[in-house]
């Protein structure tokens, strides 16, 4: 490794801007600066010194802040594209074909292109994941590259700095002490700075007062937090770490819980309450009819006995009863069940009156439980209704004239009844659907007249298990700590040297919030009767703005 030897004799790695030992500027750039760039005082960041091999080139690429910021900006711009149209996750269109159709139908050519480019599922695209991964790599490498040299330089910093270093600090003072006796100056400074909570080190006629060094580590701590968080997110992709399932369950049903092996859930009751207010303007504007006050599913959680097989429901042990509400999931064994959705008033039972069409006489009532229809419903010795066929979700007749059902859900029940009555002991066939009755044989004497329904509510629950939550939590906390440390505290240093003739040379630096350090300096200047300091940047900045004025 090539080294640069400073005038003071210390060997610095090539690329170091400021000598680690005395503080003299080493590079031409540093020498020409009126005020030193203090970011890397004492060390060169590694990427600037090693620039040779391919590995180094890749390393330098990811270490660069310019690249990092570019990645941040690209990520944020790209992320916004996913909000132009609804993402696929929020589109309820069944399968892939349905989704493609959704975008084209609703948003025309733009929608078609949006879907084709993958923007409709943008955050799950491989290139998006790679973008975020690159951001993560950038954070890691940039932190390693800068963090270690920073730590080294802060740990090894010397008390005494060369004149050329001090002169090039933003805050600088040189002059005589305004007190009678100059011999106690440094002691007075030490006393005051200690009162202001600075750590004071002395070396001969030099003094270094330092406060808040830990604040410099803030950014590195928060980067560590981010990386831990990202690791947690990446772990999601591994099997067994994360379960995300959903289920619909009707009141009265017992169902196996998908994703949670061996457990069953019984929906005892679904309660839906609304606030009984008059619709507000907001609601009418939005087209909402009433404000939901509360909805919850009262459930019982069951567990199969040890060693049970899927499908066995003989010996279910009750685990617990619970009311699942939004913000109050059912939690057990690392799994959580959330109240996500609901459907009210699904048909459970339909009732019919066996009616004589002419006279209007009702022979009896038949109630068909749509989830468990019976083969026949007996009214008396001469009268019964046979259920020939049942179609829970009637969707029409096919070419052969047969009724079809779309799904097993009782959305549109249709029945083929055989009405056995005293007048017609062989029975009459009637096809009955909602608002539709078909008599295949022609004119029946009797009909099944619709007389009522019973409904049941259905709950939509989400099942989640996520082992990465603790990792995400830790990452988040570390991140917040790092950001707080880096933002709310600052690193202040004051170098003072008393020259042979009693004059004082002073320089000060902080990484942020110059107003506060100036207050400290004012206090110590007064206490120890130091010469007045100047802010070399003030003139610079003011002259900039004066230039603007003059240009007018």
Task: Report, in Å, the least distance between residue 361 CB and another protein.
Answer: 28
Nearer to another protein, 48 or 255 (CB): 255
Calpha distance 133→442 (Å, rounded)? 72
Calpha distance 202→334 (Å, rounded)? 57
Site for another protein, residues 140 to 159, rule: CB under 8 A: 140-141, 144
Residue pair 297/323 in contact by the 8 Å Cβ criterion: yes
Task: Report, in Å, the least distance between residue 147 CB and another protein.
Answer: 13
Site for another protein, residues 190 to 249, rule: CB under 8 A: 234, 237-239, 244
What DSSP letter does each residue of 86-145 carry, written as one string? --GGG---SSHHHHHHHHHHHHHHHHHHHHHTTGGGGGGSHHHHHHHHHHHHHHHHHHHH
Task: Report, in Å, the least distance between residue 439 CB and another protein.
Answer: 21
Interaction pattern, residues 2-31, with another protein; x per rule: CB under 8 A: ------------------------------
Task: Report, in Å, the least distance between residue 549 CB and another protein.
Answer: 8
361 binds another protein (CB under 8 A): no
Interaction pattern, residues 340-359, with another protein; x per rule: CB under 8 A: x-------------------
* Phi/psi at 60 (5° precision): -65, -35
Nearer to another protein, 262 or 364 (CB): 262
Among 479, 504, 521, 530, interactor with another protein by CB under 8 A: 479
Among 512, 519, 526, 534, interactor with another protein by CB under 8 A: 512
Strands 492-498 and 206-211: antiparallel
User: H/E/C letters for each residue in 470-537?
Assistant: HHHHHHHHHHHHHHHHHHHCCCEEEEEEECCCCCEEEEEEECCCHHHHHHHHHHHHHHHCCCCCEEHH
Nearer to another protein, 103 or 495 (CB): 103
* Phi/psi at 331 (5° precision): -115, 135
400 binds another protein (CB under 8 A): no
106 binds another protein (CB under 8 A): yes
Task: Report, in Å, the least distance between residue 76 CB and another protein.
Answer: 4
Interaction pattern, residues 405-434, with another protein; x per rule: CB under 8 A: xxxx--------------------------
Strands 335-356 and 394-397: unpaired
Among 32, 66, 109, 425, interactor with another protein by CB under 8 A: 66
Q: How many residues bind another protein (CB under 8 A)?
A: 116
Task: Report, in Å, the least distance between residue 259 CB and another protein.
Answer: 8
392 binds another protein (CB under 8 A): yes
| Separation of first and last alpha carbons in the chain | 54
Nearer to another protein, 159 or 231 (CB): 231
469 binds another protein (CB under 8 A): yes
258 binds another protein (CB under 8 A): yes
Q: Residue 456 class from Cβ within 10 Å (0-12 exposed, 13-18 middle, 19+ buried)?
A: buried
Interaction pattern, residues 108-147, with another protein; x per rule: CB under 8 A: ---------------x--x--xx--x---x--xx--x---
Site for another protein, residues 282 to 311, rule: CB under 8 A: 282-285, 287, 291-295, 309-311
Nearer to another protein, 349 or 498 (CB): 349
Run of H or E including 171? strand 171-175
Residue pair 60/51 in contact by the 8 Å Cβ criterion: yes
Q: Which stretch binds another protein (CB under 8 A): 163-171, 427-435, 478-486, 524-532?
A: 478-486
Query: Burial letters for 422-431: b for 16+ Cβ neighbours within 10 Å, e otherwise?
Result: eeeeebbebb
Residue pair 301/320 in contact by the 8 Å Cβ criterion: yes
CA distances from 20 to 326, 341, 352, 376, 383 (A): 60, 64, 96, 97, 107
Calpha distance 102→107 (Å, rounded)? 8
83 binds another protein (CB under 8 A): yes
Here the tokens at position 516 are: 């506060």
472 binds another protein (CB under 8 A): yes
Here the tokens at position 537 are: 């940047």
Task: Report, in Å, the least distance between residue 161 CB and another protein.
Answer: 23
492 binds another protein (CB under 8 A): no
Q: Which stretch binds another protein (CB under 8 A): 20-28, 184-192, 500-508, 538-546?
A: 538-546
Residue pair 305/313 in contact by the 8 Å Cβ criterion: no
């Amino acid at each position: 490794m090539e080294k640069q030897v400073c005038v003071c004799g210390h060997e610095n790695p090539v690329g170091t801007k400021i000598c680690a030992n005395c503080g003299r500027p080493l590079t031409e750039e540093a020498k020409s600066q009126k005020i030193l760039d203090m970011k890397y005082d004492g060390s060169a960041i590694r990427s600037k010194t090693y620039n040779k091999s391919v590995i180094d080139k890749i390393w330098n690429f990811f270490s660069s802040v310019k690249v990092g910021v570019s990645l941040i900006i690209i990520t944020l711009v790209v992320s916004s594209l996913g909000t132009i149209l609804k993402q696929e996750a929020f589109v309820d269109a069944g399968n892939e074909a349905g989704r493609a159709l959704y975008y084209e139908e609703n948003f025309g050519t733009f929608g078609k292109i949006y879907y084709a480019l993958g923007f409709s599922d943008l955050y799950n695209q491989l290139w998006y994941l790679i973008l975020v991964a690159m951001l993560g790599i950038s954070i890691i490498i940039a932190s390693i590259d800068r963090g270690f040299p920073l730590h080294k330089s802060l740990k090894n910093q010397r008390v005494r700095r060369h004149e050329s270093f001090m002169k090039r600090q933003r805050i600088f003072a040189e002059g005589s002490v305004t007190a009678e006796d100059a011999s106690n100056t440094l002691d007075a400074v030490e006393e005051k700075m200690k009162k202001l909570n600075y750590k004071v080190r002395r070396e001969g006629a030099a003094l270094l007062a330092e406060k808040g060094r830990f604040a410099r580590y803030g950014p590195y701590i928060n980067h560590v937090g981010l990386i831990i968080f990202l690791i947690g997110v990446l772990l999601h992709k591994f099997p067994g770490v994360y379960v995300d399932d959903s289920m619909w369950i009707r009141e009265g049903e017992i169902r196996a819980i998908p994703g949670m092996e061996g457990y069953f859930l019984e929906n005892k009751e679904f309660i839906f309450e609304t606030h009984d207010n008059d619709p507000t303007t907001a609601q009418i504007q939005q087209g909402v009819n009433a404000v939901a006050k509360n909805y919850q599913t009262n459930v019982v959680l069951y567990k199969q006995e040890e060693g049970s097989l899927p499908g066995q429901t003989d010996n279910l042990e009750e685990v617990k009863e619970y009311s699942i509400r939004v913000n109050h999931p059912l939690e057990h064994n690392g799994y959580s069940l959330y109240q996500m959705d609901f459907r009210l008033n699904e048909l459970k039972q339909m009732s019919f009156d066996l009616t004589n069409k002419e006279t209007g006489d009702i022979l009896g009532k038949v109630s068909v439980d749509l989830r468990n229809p019976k083969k026949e419903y007996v009214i008396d010795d001469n009268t019964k209704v046979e259920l020939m066929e049942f179609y829970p979700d009637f969707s029409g007749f096919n070419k052969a004239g047969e009724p079809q059902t779309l799904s097993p859900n009782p959305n549109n029940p249709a029945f083929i009844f055989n009405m056995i009555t005293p007048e017609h002991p062989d029975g009459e066939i009637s096809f009955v659907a909602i608002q539709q009755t078909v008599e295949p044989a022609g004119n029946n004497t009797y009909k099944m007249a619709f007389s009522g329904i019973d409904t049941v509510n259905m709950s939509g629950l989400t099942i989640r298990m996520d082992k990465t939550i603790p990792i995400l939590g830790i990452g988040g906390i570390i991140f917040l700590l790092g950001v707080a440390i880096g933002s709310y505290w600052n690193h202040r240093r004051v170098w003072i040297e008393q020259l042979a003739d009693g004059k004082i040379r002073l320089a000060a630096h902080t990484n942020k919030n110059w107003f506060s350090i100036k207050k400290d300096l004012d206090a110590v200047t007064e206490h120890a009767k130091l010469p007045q300091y100047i802010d070399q940047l003030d003139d610079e900045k003011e002259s900039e703005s004066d230039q603007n004025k003059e240009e007018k």
